[in-house]
Structure 1
Amino acid sequence: MTASRRQFLRYGTAATAAIAADTLRIAAFPGAGTARAQGRPLLKAGDQKGGLRALLESADALRGLSYDIQWTEFPAAAPLAEALNAGAVDCGPIGDAPAIFALAAGTRIRLIGANRSDPYGTAILVRPHSALKTAADLKGKSIGTNRGSIGHFVALKALESAGLRPEDANIRFLPPADAKLALTSGSVDAWATWEPYTAMAETSGHARVLVSGRGLWSGLSYLAATDAALAARRAVLADFLQRVVRAQAWSYQHVPEFSATLARIIGISPEAARLQFERRRTQWQKIDDALIAEQQRTADFYLKAGLLRQRLDARTTFDTGFAIA
């Protein structure tokens, strides 16, 4: 058993004991258990907080599949990247910064589809009555976030924007559920996170945005697929990506319906679901030279911050053979 497989299994064991905390959920559509018996391909799709599954189901975009889908849900990109590396899932959504971390660590994936969202909800949150008012106030304070996440990236960018170095704040690496609890209890001064966690914290009254991601983060995220899946199920991945793109267009024409489905599937309030969805304004786009250059700048920033050991050539991490309708 490989080290990456052991790492994923350790994560999976802990996750099974914490299903109520949304650490890991698995569902099959429409019948993954009989996929091999029927001779149908099986796509093992990873998801973050139910976003892709909610999108496809609400748009009725899974009708007429020639393959089956097994969904595995993760609370953040880091455990999803571990699952991709272990071969436990074939594909999944991942932000630009965690994708860089995964690729730099040797995860055998390619980025096959790109989307851009309004980066506001990737933000640094503080308690409602916190005395912190600006990014400069983070000097000497503690910030909870996932290592290598887009939250981590925004935290570093926020510090830089205030003329601060990473070591000027105490960055504590915590998964979302733990970081939320730490902020609420006062164990950390701030929480650097992303949607839907930002909208959930805002609408519940537990936090406010200190620094938003606007002007700090590109808003880029990707659909990543493993090299093994690309070799064996390329046509399936192409079909899946096109269904996601069409469903995204549908979602912004049917905001109430999609928001309700999103709230139901990921288990958050309708208010939080609609807030995070409407302000993200996600659009899928072509992977071109300009986009690759943006990804390279993000990778170079992580290198400068000392979080990568060597420069990552972003161009080699994309598979540009998937068209966006």
Structure 2
Amino acid sequence: MRYLKRLLPLAAVLGTSLAALTPGNAADETKTVRIGFQKSSTLATVLKTNGELEKRLAALGYKVSWSEFASGLPLLEALNVGAIELSADVADTVPVFAQAAGAKLTYVAQEAPSPTAQAILVRPDSPLKDLADLKGKKVAVTKAAGAHFLLISALSKAGLKFKDIEPAYLSPADGRAAFEKGAVDAWVVWDPFVSAAQKQANARVLADGTGIASYQRYYLAASAFAASDPKVIETYFELLQSTGQWVKANPAEAAKVLAPVWGLDPAIVETANGRRSYQVRALSAADLTEQQRIADVFFAEGLLPKEVKATDAEIWSPTGKKSSEVEKR
């Protein structure tokens, strides 16, 4: 995985090292499921808060351990090296980069598209009015994130190349700081960061993903774990589905649960959640069309070390169903 380490050094983005996450001996990790998540991992955060996953897995003889990551790429790196077994949702771009680096990962579930949940932001007094105005400008974006693909696709829509802008590869926290100081002309990011910037910094949306990038998020597992512990995967999948349904049916209550965890006003959280589908579904190879488009775009930009065939990835299916028999869109 040397490519991923060159791309985004883990030491810069993890609050703890992978070594610290890895148990000291095999006995320690027996019956423990380690799950990685991010701030934007809404459903995992709800499950972590309400303890429902721990309760369900305890009945199967498992404990749960949670580890937070700054972004999706180091999360999947941890999954690949055996520091965790399951990932909460990551942006659609992230599995593509992991796949290019040879990671042994299995798709567990997909969230239906949420194109408005990521956006290109400018300050309220910015002279930038449309995408073509980005030419020659400095734009903050997290490398390999879904926002990165949104930016490349938005530039293409405006007849521009990625080389026509000056990218500033920053984490969401650093991107927000640079944006507010005026060190960058625009910032490309996802919710809840979008909603927070709109409310707290009066940020203006230059463009979101509508008609540009579908923004489907994915839940993954280490392939060896998916094969050896199918009951855990099945339980995780079922709870993700029901939690997604609960969040959409109870927006105000969900916001109250998430607000103190995220350190945001409930109104901001509710706005952010309104832009995410949270429709968790099983997937088949046919559902990876957008993944292939993402892989082709990043390879063409020289950001992937090799071509990636999205359908080469392993895909988990619910009990009794083959990948070709999962719910049709």
Task: Please give the range of the TM-score, normalised by the shorter of the 2 chains.
Answer: 0.7 to 0.9
Query: Contact (CA 8 Å) 1:151, 1:192: kept in 2 or not?
Result: yes
1:77 aligns with 72
SS of equivalent to 1:133: coil
Give the distance between the partners of 2:5 and 2:187, measured in 1 at CA: 29
Give the one of 34, 57, 69 matched to 1:65: 57
Give the distance between the partners of 1:13 and 1:286, measured in 2 at CA: 33
**Bigger CA drift: 154-163 or 253-262?**
253-262
Give the distance between the partners of 2:289 and 2:4, measured in 1 at CA: 32
Give the distance between the partners of 2:166 and 2:269, measured in 1 at CA: 31
Give the one of 38, 41, 44 matched to 2:31: 41
Point out where structure 1 has 5 or more consecutive residues left out of the alignment: 18-22
SS of equivalent to 2:220: strand
Using the TM superposition, give the Cα deviation of residue 14 of structure 1 relative to its aligned residue in structure 2, in angstroms: 6.4
SS of equivalent to 1:180: helix
**Bigger CA drift: 160-169 or 100-109?**
100-109
Using the TM superposition, give the Cα deviation of residue 289 of structure 1 relative to its aligned residue in structure 2, in angstroms: 4.5
Aligned pairs (5 A) from 1:47-196: 47-49=37-39, 50-57=41-48, 61-62=52-53, 63-66=55-58, 67-92=62-87, 93-196=89-192
Q: Report Cα offsets for 1:102-160 as digits up to 9, x if no partner.
A: 11122221212111232112111111211111110000001111111101100101100
Query: Contact (CA 8 Å) 1:112, 1:318: kept in 2 or not?
Result: no
SS of equivalent to 1:209: strand
Give the distance between the partners of 1:4 and 1:118, measured in 2 at CA: 29
Change (3 A) 1:310 1:68: same
Give the distance between the partners of 1:186 and 1:60, measured in 2 at CA: 41
The AA in structure 1 aligned to 2:200 is: S
Give the distance between the partners of 2:44 and 2:172, measured in 1 at CA: 20
Using the TM superposition, give the Cα deviation of residue 234 of structure 1 relative to its aligned residue in structure 2, in angstroms: 2.9
Give the distance between the partners of 1:61 and 1:144, measured in 2 at CA: 37
TM-score by length of 1: 0.85
Give the distance between the partners of 2:246 and 2:175, measured in 1 at CA: 33
Query: Contact (CA 8 Å) 1:128, 1:207: kept in 2 or not?
Result: yes
The AA in structure 2 aligned to 1:205 is: A
Using the TM superposition, give the Cα deviation of residue 227 of structure 1 relative to its aligned residue in structure 2, in angstroms: 2.0
Give the distance between the partners of 2:188 and 2:242, measured in 1 at CA: 31
Change (3 A) 1:12 1:183: same
SS of equivalent to 1:64: helix
Using the TM superposition, give the Cα deviation of residue 190 of structure 1 relative to its aligned residue in structure 2, in angstroms: 0.8
Change (3 A) 1:12 1:241: farther
CA RMSD, Structure 1 to Structure 2 (Å): 3.1
Query: Contact (CA 8 Å) 1:4, 1:85: kept in 2 or not?
Result: no
Query: Contact (CA 8 Å) 1:40, 1:68: kept in 2 or not?
Result: no
The AA in structure 2 aligned to 1:45 is: I
SS of equivalent to 2:249: coil
Query: Contact (CA 8 Å) 2:57, 2:232: kept in 1 or not?
Result: no
SS of equivalent to 1:45: strand
1:20 aligns with none
Give the distance between the partners of 2:213 and 2:263, measured in 1 at CA: 27
Point out where structure 2 has 5 or more consecutive residues left out of the alignment: 320-325
Q: Report Cα offsets for 1:176-199 as digits up to 9, x if no partner.
A: 111111111111111111111111
Query: Contact (CA 8 Å) 2:141, 2:170: kept in 1 or not?
Result: yes
Q: Report Cα offsets for 1:56-77 as digits up to 9, x if no partner.
A: 2566633332321111112221
Query: Contact (CA 8 Å) 2:13, 2:71: kept in 1 or not?
Result: no
The AA in structure 1 aligned to 2:108 is: I
SS of equivalent to 2:299: helix
Give the distance between the partners of 2:132 and 2:4, measured in 1 at CA: 41
Give the distance between the partners of 1:204 and 1:238, measured in 2 at CA: 40
The AA in structure 1 aligned to 2:71 is: A
Give the distance between the partners of 1:5 and 1:173, measured in 2 at CA: 15
Using the TM superposition, give the Cα deviation of residue 321 of structure 1 relative to its aligned residue in structure 2, in angstroms: 2.5
Percent identity, aligned pairs only, is 31
Query: Contact (CA 8 Å) 2:43, 2:243: kept in 1 or not?
Result: no
Give the distance between the partners of 1:183 and 1:250, measured in 2 at CA: 34
Query: Contact (CA 8 Å) 2:35, 2:65: kept in 1 or not?
Result: yes
